[in-house]
Each structure stands twice: as structure tokens, then as C-alpha cells.
Structure 1
Amino acid sequence: MKKLSKTLIVFVITVLLLAACSSKSAEQAGGKNDINLLFNFATSSLDPNVDTSYVSLRAGITETLVHLNDESLKIEPWLAESWSSEDGQTWIIELRNDVTFQNGNPMDGAAVKASLERAMKDSIAIKNALRIESIEAEGHTLTIKTEVPFPEFPSELVHPNTSIIDVTETDFVNKPVGTGPFAVSSFTPKTAVNLVRYDEYWDGTALLETAKFSFNEDANARSLALQSGDADIVFRPEVESLDSLKAIEGMKVESTSTFRVHQMTMNLQRKPLQDINVRKAIDALIDREMVAETILKGHAEVATGPFPSSFSFAPDYPEKKHGIEIARDLLKEAGYTETNNVMQRDGKPLELTLLTYSSRADLPLIAQVFQSDAKQLGIKVTIQQIEIPEEYMAANRDWDLTTYSNLTAPRGDAGYYLNATYHPKGALNFSGANDNQLTEMIDQLNGTVGQQERSDIAEEIAAYVDEQVYNSFILHPNTLVAYNSAKVKNWVTSRSEYYMLTNKLSVN
């Protein structure tokens, strides 16, 4: 009996040790209550006020004052409880009084004021977008005065770069302290950010204990990571891999229309592109239907302008003819002749530098198709790969064209894109557009209240931009997300692409 008891004790201890080892191994491997999301843009900084990949917001580290409802396309309260203005210039914002930062400090008016001021100081783009003249804070109330009447000011507070952080914690690059459901555990630049649940999160403790937001700009590698189980959710898997992913039991692929446009950005400071007929010729060379069907495999809508046709402010554009012969005729009008298979004017060949980047796998392919078609016209196109397009285009003017992807109406309103892309102070005005008539129209839009009135003006602006061919619009790609539905629960593919790791996300 004594011997049996000893045997039983040894057995129990062994089982407990094995269970502990198993638990430890599961924890080291990420555990069941953990998710790894693999994103297509790498970042070297988590600073929410300047990072153009918006990782801190997408990973649930930070939040903004105002939230976009993906279904209604209307803005709604988030960290701000309400807002009001009698004149469109002085705004009273009431903050939630139950929010704390991930270090336990309260999120009050003074903290939000400091965060917004820091964002405007470090990001000229945010300064120009918000147009704030002054901020006063008292308790949980902010009084913000804009430089001019700005009826759509609250919608600008949706922008990820306005994320609220505790500025007393100064390691913004590696460990920003926000109000979201997940706090930073560790960060390896251009590789991954490891996250841990913030138990005191104001909107309900996250269902996940930990999470990982990792990066890989290679679409094929992202697809393989999902197949091997190294990733649970993959943003923009390789288009060619979608059928094989769908064939895997438990794997789900979502293709969702969004507010994004793939465009050919034109550098208007380059002499050839100052001729509208050259810009029209470039536009005519783009075979949109072929690109949508062969490169995006039908997961896109051919673009006629910056805004998808479903928006009320998308004009009915006049039908245009496209093709190499149309482009040749337009270049002839611009004074070019084709001699010995070289398109030239005044003895100088037409040569273009085209920028592209691999984090959106379809853009380099679009660049190659354009390069091939341009060659048939005697135009030499040199493709240059870059890493962060916004940084490169803003700092350099040694390029002519860029295949670029941009969110055009992430707040359900045209004002964001038109201001950012075509206003002289716009954060995304990489073309260098500085057209007085266009600027006046945008300023008129900024001072207009009422959805229908704003839509009418935005439609006029979009039509004018089309007439001037300041950029060339190729297609509206769907957002593609693949994930292991046998494990991942409550994932939502957002049309704005802003909200990814949330407190509702869980595992089966």
C-alpha cells in the first residue's frame, strides 16, 4: 500500500511537471490566447504622430479622439465624448472621464492638449491638416480654436497621426504609451511589435492576453507564413496564392472594397510633365482593365477618378480614349516626334524616372507594364525602387512618376484627399500642385457645411483635377485579408484599414 502511494505521488508530480512544461512551451510559442498579424508595411518607429504606416493605431496601442464607423461612414465619439461649435471655428470637446493611459496616468484635458501640440510640432502634415490656432484645457474639456472657420474639423481628428499619447513617456519610437487595449511589450524595428493586454482598458479588457503585429513586405512570404502557421492573420496576401489559401480547411479570405486608389502620381515640377498633353499621353498609356484583371485578378474596380463610383462626390467623367496610338497623337500635339524609335522634342529624348515600392506587390507590376507600353512609343522609363514613398517623394524631386496607393475618403468625405493632395500646404501634395483656381475651390469646400453642398463642390474639384490630369488614376483595389478562422475569432476587415487589433479580437 505504501509502495502504491509512492507510485501515485510520483505519477501526479510527473503529470504536473509535464503540464507545466506544456504550458510554458505554449507560452513561448505564443500560446492559444495570442494572435500574430502579419502586415505588409514595415516600420522603424512606433511614433504615432509621424509613422505613415499607422502601426500604433492599427495594433491597438493608441486611439484617436474621433472614430470612423466603417458601415455608416460617419464619425462617432471615441476618446472624445462629444464636440460642438457655434461658428465652425471655436470647438468645445468633452473628453471621456474614465480613460487612463497604459501607465495608469489619467487622460484629461491637459494630457490631450499636450499630445495634440506635440503632434503638430513634430508633423507639419498634421499641423496643416488641423489648422489649430490655440488649445485650452480645463478638466476634461478642451476649447480649440482653428485658424479659420473649419466645419469639418472633427473629421480630421480621425487621422491616425492625431493619436493621443502620454507625452511624459518620451520613448515615442520604441514604446509610445497610449490608451488602447494593448501596451507595447517589446519592439524590433522593421520586424515586429509584441503586445500585452492592458487590463484597465476603458472599453473592456481585451479578450487576447498577448498579440504580435509583425511586418514583411514580401507578399509571397506573407502567404507562406499563413500556410505554415507562423501567422494567424495576413494583410494583403499574394493575389496568386488566394485560391490555394481558400483550399485549406479553416482558412478564410476576405476581399473588401475600400476607399483606396492606385494612382500614377506626376511630378509637376519636371518640365515634360508641365505640358498637359504629355500628362494626357501618360494617362492614355495605362490599360486599366488589363491591370485589374491580370495583376489584381479582378479584386479591384477600374478607376475613372480618385473616388470610387459609390461616393456621391464622384463625378460622371467624360469617356476617354486610351491606347498607344492615342498617346502618340497627344505627344505629337506636345511637339514630340518619334525618330529612330526614340520619342523626342528639340533633339532631346523623352525619358522618365518612375518610382515604385514593393510593400504593395501590385505596384511594381503596374510600373513594369507601363514601362513596356512606353517603350513601344520610344519612351525610356527607368524604374527605381524606394522603401517609404511618402518620405522619398517629399524629400526628393529627381523623379517624374510614382505608382502610389492612397486612401482617398477614409472619413467618408472628400475633404481629406483633396486638401492633402492638391492644396499647396497638403501633406500628400507630392505632385507640387499649386493652382490658384484649384486652391480657391478647396478653400471654399473647407468652409462649407452640409453634406450635399460639400459633395457638389467636391464633385466640381474632382472634375477639374481630371481635366488638368494632375495625377492619373488606375484602379480601386480591394483590401485582401486571409486568416485562420479555425483559430481567429471576431476579426473585422475594416474599409478604412485603420482598426485591426481590437479588444474584441479573440481565439477559438
Structure 2
Amino acid sequence: MSERDPHVRRRRLLGAAGVGLAGTAGLAGYARTTGAAGSARARLATLDPPVTLDPVEAASVGSERAVEKLFDGLYAYDDGLGVVPRIADGPPRRPDATTAEVDLRADARFQNGRAVTPEDVAYSFEAPVAEDAPTKWRVDPVESVETVSASTVRVHLSHPYPALDHLLTHPVVPKAEREANPERFARDPVGSGPFAAASFTPEKKTVLDRWGEYWGETPPVDRLVFAAVGSPVTQMMGLATNRSDAIQPVSPLLAGRVADVTGASVRRRPGLRTVYFGFNCNEGPTTDPAVREAIRYCIDVDEAVEELVEPLGRRAYGLLPPQVAEAWGMPTEEWRETAVGQNAERARRLFREADATSGQLKILTPPNPKLKELGETLARGLRDAGRGALVTETGWERYLDRYVSGAERDYSVFVGSVAGTADPDSYLYPAVHENVEGLTNGLFYRDEGVMEAIAAARATTDRAERRRLYESALSTLADEHVYLPVCTFANSLAVDPDASALRLHPLAGRTPRLVGGEP
């Protein structure tokens, strides 16, 4: 068995973890005096640290997690996918299919004491589109926001939008304060949520303090810290030695050992975030569907998921997470049957037929060990098929810029993910539609029929018609090998017993939830 064999790597890392943590295992039950219980603080060691604190620019799950604590929207998610009023004073009124009226709470305030106004609400929905920001896709069904009175807004849609409830959870930002200095706002924002930013170092550490004048429900911790910890073993050691109160996500490699070594409980919940290999259809060899097909034969995705992802994730055979695809009646068994295993000889033949046997294919990954492992697994398969391959890992900010550049110098393939809701629009539109190329779409695939289907599906409330349109688009995308679906990861936390306020949510960008009482 070779050094490159993944089973060898897994056993060796587990062995290293055992050696490194043997001396700390006895601390697992230690009652901390500076942890979440004693001082109502919680430190989260994460692989997805915030990159920005500006809701308009938040393009990563890590940033969304911090933004959600700093800013409120008109509505917020409950402990599931339902929405409840936050800045809104009651549910929206729907006089027709393209209008929603919302009353604002009289006591809703920003952290500088200023009242939330209809002008702020309008700006929050208009700025992402005006600035061509990564969050544009979430709000572009909004045509305008009208001020009805000092406490009421009327949202006008350009078309009926079945995901309006989700749209209305978009964070509300203070217009004047953000416009005064957008760069400073991204580091030191003025929010309306339960936490205020105490300090922020992008991609490294974010410290949020409870805002004492918050007008809503008081959070159960005084301070919440998101600390970047890039190694799962280091994450576990930090939990065992009381440096951290929780780790997120839990590495599949160590899932079976975290509880024994640290005394923490491992919590998991099916996730709504699909990981996939995205192909650059804009420049370079991967503009050729035959090359993209050849790459499919360079990796056995079923085997990779079994080895690298389970038990904290499952195989995905489409861009939609399995539970979303099943709920929408998609032909998931047909998708499963079209999956292929690794076949180096067939890949070589396809590369030869496409006259694409020379040069290196660049695989771009973010600084997530598991996503990098997936990239390296594909790279080994490419080399076995006679193609050069180079895996490039970058920091989060650079990755978020590069994977949507469409430039061959940056990537032929990117290891990406799209986090959504129970609605297919939240996956297909940001990942595929041409309107968001260079923002959240790094594929740059152009097909008029696919684009029309995705756009039409977000403009009708007829679920059967939407399902038909999405199935049609997904079928073409699969036939053209635009991306290679890999898996969905569970939302997971390993939580110290003293940090029981940290809970899971179905949405990756809303985990951890902060609640009181027993889990």
C-alpha cells in the first residue's frame, strides 16, 4: 500500500492525534472557570472564519455566521426553516402576488441608538444590486421599497417570488453609517442585532460582545468568539485543554474520538450545503465538455465520500442536497445511476480525443482541510490519467475572489460549495445563473435554455411547474458536465458540557444558534 493511499493517511493521522492528545484526555471533564458557564462566554474554533462583517458583501458561510449575530432582518429563522418577526412588527401583509407590506417595531434600534427607518430597509435591499455585490442574488427580485409611513414599508417585487419569506430575512443595515465609510463598516459595523463587534481580524479572529441595549431577546452569552483553527487535531486539542468551548465543523476523521478525548458532545444535523467540483467554462481546457467528462473518470466520488466525508456527510448526486432533491421529487435514482467510478484509461482516451493531454489543470481550494483533500484526490486521479494537476490552496478572501474570476490562470477546477434553504432557487441561481457570474458563480456556463428555466422557476409560485423547470435545467447541466457533485456535510458541533447554549440550525450560516436551557 502506497504512501498516497487514503486509508494509510487516515490511520496515521488518527495515530498522531492519539499521541498528541494522550496527555490532555484527563482534562476532558475539567470544569472551566473562564468558559461559557462561568463567565457566559463562548469560544468557537472554526474552519470557516468570517472574512467581512458587512452583510452586503458577505459571500461565505463564515461571514454569514457573524453577520447573523450582528444584524437583524425584518424577519429571522426560527429553530427550523420557518421565519418569525424580528425588526418587523408582525407578519407581512400580501395585497397581491408582487407586494408585501411590513410594519416596523417602534423600539428597533441600531447600536448607535438610532431608530431603524424605512429608508434603512430600502437601502438594505437595494445596495446589493446597486453595488453588484455577492448578496445580489438574494434580493434582486425586489423592484423597489416604498415608504408608506414612518413605521411601514411596502416591498414591490418585479415578479412573484416563491422564496419571499427567505428574502425578507436579509439583514437591515444603517444607510448613512455604511455609506459614510464602507471599508470601515466592514470591519467595525453598526448593527441592530444582539451582538456588537468588539474586534475583528479577517480570517483569523472575530470577537462579538453582547449589546446591552438590545431591544429583542437577550442572548445567553456575554461574548462570542470565532477563532480560525485550520487543523482538526488542533481543534480537538483546544477543546480538550479548555481553550475552546466548541469546534465547528467536526472532522469526519475524528468524529468517533472527540467525545472520549474531550468530554464534549458531538451534535449533528443534516446540512443544506452542497460541495462540488466546479469547472471553468470560461477559459482553458475545461471549456470543452469532453475534457470535463474526462475529469469525471479521474475520481471515484462514491469512494472519496466514504473515505473522507462519512459519517458526517453523505453523497450528493446533484447540486441540490439529497433531502431537498427528494422533497421536490427529483429523479435522484436516475442521477445515482449516471455516476461513474474512476477509469484512468477512459479518461486518457477522452483527453486524447479532445486534444487536451498537455499542461497542468489547476485545482483551486479554500483553506478547509477536507475540501483540500478532495482536491488532492482528484489531482491524483488526473495524474494517473496522464494529466498534470496542481492543487492551490488560498486564504478565504483570495479564494472568494479567484473562484469567480473565470480566469484560467486561477483555476480549471474549483472545489466549491453552495449553502441554501429548502428551495432549489437558493442553489441553482447563485451557483449557475449568468446574472451572478463573477459574484457567486464561478462556472461561467452559458446555455439560454438553462438560464431561462432557472429565471422562470423563481418567477412562479406553481410548485409543479417549478419542479419541471429545475429538473430540465439540472438535466442539461449534468449532460454538459458543468460540475461534479460530491457531497453534503452535516452541520456539526462538538460542544463542551459548559457551553450548552450553542445549538445547531439546519442552515450553515445560522449555526451556532444561541439559546438557553438544556439541549
TM range (shorter): 0.7 to 0.9
Q: Which amino acid aligns with 2:85?
A: P
TM-score (norm. length: structure 2): 0.82
Residue equivalent to 1:95: 104
Distance 1:277 1:29 in 2: 54
Q: 1:285 aligns with which of 282, 289, 298?
A: 298
SS of the counterpart of 2:486? strand
Deviations 1:401-422 (A, max 9, x none): 0111221xx2210012111122
Indicate the structure (1 or 2) with the bigger Cα radius of gyration: 1
Match of 1:419, SS state, is helix
Equivalent of 1:198, from 206, 211, 224? 211
Shift of 1:78: 3.2
Encode CA deviations 1:291-327: one digit per residue, 9 max, x unaligned.
12221243221111112332223323251252343x6
Cross-structure match for 2:481: 469
Consecutive unaligned residues of structure 2, counting only runs of 5 or more, are 1-31, 179-183
CA deviation profile, 1:216-237 (whole Å, cap 9, x unmatched): 2333322221121111011114
2:393 is aligned with 1:381: no
Name 1:16's counterpart in structure 2.
none
Residues 331, 353 of structure 1: alpha-carbon distance in 2 compared, 3 angstrom cutoff: same
Relative distance call for 1:124 and 1:146 in structure 2 (3 A) is farther
Matched, 1:41 2:48: yes
Q: Which has the larger displacement, 364-373 or 192-201?
A: 192-201
Offset at 1:188? 3.2
Pick the aligned partner of 2:405 from 395, 403, 406: 395
Q: Structure 2 matches for 1:407-426, cutoff 5 A?
A: 407=419, 410-426=420-436
2:504 maps to which residue?
Answer: 493
The offset of 1:356, in angstroms, is: 1.2
2:195 paired with 1:182: yes
CA distance in structure 1 between the partners assigned to 2:157 and 2:317 by the alignment: 34
The percentage of counterpart residues that share the same residue type is 21
Contact 1:130 1:153 in 2 (8 A): no
> Which residue type is aligned with residue 402 of structure 2?
Y
TM superposition shift of 1:350: 5.6
2:257 maps to which residue?
244
Inter-partner Cα distance in structure 2 for 1:300 and 1:501? 18
Q: Is the 8 A contact 1:75 1:411 kept in 2?
A: no
Cα drift, residue 460 of structure 1: 2.9
Structure 2 partner of 1:329: 346
Cα shift readout 1:171-200 (whole Å, capped 9, x = no counterpart): 312221212111122223333222222233
Q: Retained in 2: the 8 A contact 1:151–1:447? A: yes
Q: For structure 1, which segment, 86-95 or 348-357, has the greater mean C-alpha deviation from structure 2 after superposition?
A: 86-95
C-alpha distance in structure 2 between counterparts of 1:50 and 1:195, whole Å: 19
Give the aligned partner of residue 169 of structure 1.
177
The aligned counterpart of 2:29 is: none
SS in 2 for 1:430: coil
The one-letter amino acid paired with 2:276 is Q
Deviations along 1:111-149, one digit per CA (max 9) or x if unpaired, are 322333344444433334422332222222112223344
Q: 1:385 to 1:146 in 2, by over 3 A?
A: same
Q: Take 2:405 and 2:133, find their aligned partners in 1: how far apart are those partners? A: 14
Contact 2:162 2:459 in 1 (8 A): yes
Shift of 1:34: 1.2
Q: Give yes or no for contact 2:274–2:417 (8 Å, CA) kept in 1.
A: yes
Alpha-carbon distance change, 434 to 396 in structure 1, aligned in 2, over 3 angstroms: closer
Counterpart mapping for 1:266-285 below 5 A: 266-285=279-298
Letter in structure 2 aligned against 1:232: D
Report the number of matched residues.
467
Report whether the alignment pairs 1:124 with 2:141: no
Q: CA deviation at 1:503?
A: 5.3
* Structure 1 spans left out of the alignment, 5+ residues: 1-24, 338-343
Partners of 1:54 and 1:351 lie apart in 2 by 30
Q: 1:392 to 1:280 in 2, by over 3 A?
A: same
Name the residue aligned to 1:11.
none
The residue identity in structure 2 corresponding to 1:35 is A
Q: Which residue of 1 aligns with 2:150?
A: 139
Deviation at 1:29, TM superposition (A): 11
Judged with a 3 Å threshold, the aligned counterparts in structure 2 of structure 1 residues 259 and 54 are, in CA distance, closer, same or farther, namely: closer
Aligned to 2:331: 315
Retained in 1: the 8 A contact 2:280–2:442?
A: yes
CA distance in 2, matches of 1:208, 1:148: 42
Question: Paired residue for 2:164?
Answer: 153
Judging changes above 3 Å, is the alpha-carbon distance between structure 1 residues 92 and 373 closer, same or farther for their aligned structure 2 residues?
same
1:208 to 208, 221, 229: 221
Q: Is the 8 A contact 2:252 2:311 kept in 1?
A: no
1:420 maps to a residue whose letter is P
Question: What SS does structure 1 have at the residue aligned with 2:297?
Answer: helix
In 2, the alpha carbon distance for the partners of 1:68 and 1:286 equals: 38
1:296 partnered with 2:309: yes
Per-residue CA deviations over 1:314-354 (Å, capped at 9, x if unaligned) read: 323251252343x643663x5716xxxxxx828x5263111
Which moved further from structure 2: 147-156 or 209-218? 147-156
Amino acid at match of 2:309: L
Name the CA shift for 1:443/1:28 in 2 (closer, same or farther; >3 Å): closer
